[in-house]
Chain A
Amino acid sequence: MKEIDAEAIDAIREIVNIGVGRAAGQLQEMTGSHIRLQIPNITIVPFDEITTVGNTLISGDTLSAVLLDFKGTFSGISAVVFPPESAAALVMLLTGEQEKSPELDAMRIEALKEVGNIIINAVMGSIANILSEHLIYSIPVYYEGPMVTLAGLRRKNVRDECVLLARTNFMVEKLNIEGDILLILEIGSLEALVTSINRASA
């Protein structure tokens, strides 16, 4: 794992925290439940090892994830990932369905995609706004599987590179629904991001 300047980490953590906070607000509004949010964990790690950082959800064998690529001054992937049970429970809660053994069928996946879209847009919208950066985004996609495979499918060219991983775990209190909001930044973008943050805070 590479060393990273502590000040830069703090700056990135702060900017991610603002975006994630806004996303949590949206989620709270949708679910009507308090969202417990962890402080974003920022690390630089080889792409293939992103699942080994700490005790994280993303090390699970199967995840339900909504992912979005972005390109611009800085590039990467923004994602919201859930264990499949949490994903199903969240959709059931939001659609008001009641079923003993819910599964993520095509309609529920569409619904989950919208939820992921709201969360990711809140994060990325905040970051882009604060930094006054214009980014180009892909259409959000849904994947199910291990995180490395999923993210690797989106970013084949960075598989051997280091990336900056910002991970924030959230929990919908009383409902036992948890997830991670991830920001995977290409390492070449780090300097541009820090410059952008410094410029915005100047």
Chain B
Amino acid sequence: MTLMSYRQALHDALRSEMLRDENVFLMGEEIGVFEGSYKITAGLLAEFGEKRVRDTPIAEEGFTGAAIGAAMLGLRPVVEIMTINFSLLALDQIVNHAAKIYGMFGGQATVPLVIRTPGGGGQQLGATHSQNIELYYAFVPGLKVVAPSTPADAKALLIAAIRDDDPVLFLENLALYNTKGEVPDHDTPAVIGKAAVTREGHHLTLIGYSRMAHVAKKVADQLADHDGLDIEVIDLRSLRPLDRETIVESVKKTHAAVVVEDDWLTYGIGAEIAATISDGAFDYLDAPVRRVAMAEVPMPYSKTLESAALPSENDVIQAIYQTLDAIGHRRTKTGPHD
């Protein structure tokens, strides 16, 4: 195990997969000479050369589609789209082509493609650069969508995504790049499609992914320390496929759930989780499933407004207390967030 940043874990996974398989190559804007907008690909152009680290024109539809075509011929391209906001320019290629080619041609062609892209607000980047629109991709059969929240998962899921024969949208997060954690030194891939219980508990199930899985774990640890609450935390890790069983089994044990998400509330990922719990654990619920999500506005630039729009740790804590209060759980002692 080595302590490293989420950024470093991604970099190391890319590098070791490129060393392992010469069919793996990188494409994207500013990933070579500039070393990536977020420096994930730093040093890789110098090590692997222009053939395998390709700076592209500003043409998301063109280069994402070209990566799909190259994948159809057996290469394993890893595309970086600078932020998930720009993936909208490649939506036709991702949704109408990458997701369709395997099924639409009766299984005759595979698309072993990875699209790496960060989401996330909180950087004062304004309305067009702060979105979390992974839902658009999680909605689409044929795609796989993974969203690691820790450096260890960032490495293991990226390796899994590169070795997978289906198109995988790999969601990163601007606020996670500098977070640190222990990462295994080996290159064992994660299993795509499985959630992780990152903290066991019995008072309530707290569910998140990407940055909010990180926030959920932090809040649960804090409430355990300050309030003696025993919260179970689920990191979804994979948005498609969605590990419904892990969610439902947890709620059967805790009888309550709060979903925390960085995307917008209405029709969001949390809505699907709530519906899953309703379908699978209705008789076990002691309170309605609560969702904590981003305010439904185009993200404002000004810091006060931006902070208000993003779900905070305090928002999560309040939702947990309100849910527990509703079902008669009383705090064992007064917490710091009344």
Partners in one complex: no
B residues adjacent to A (C-beta < 8 A):
none
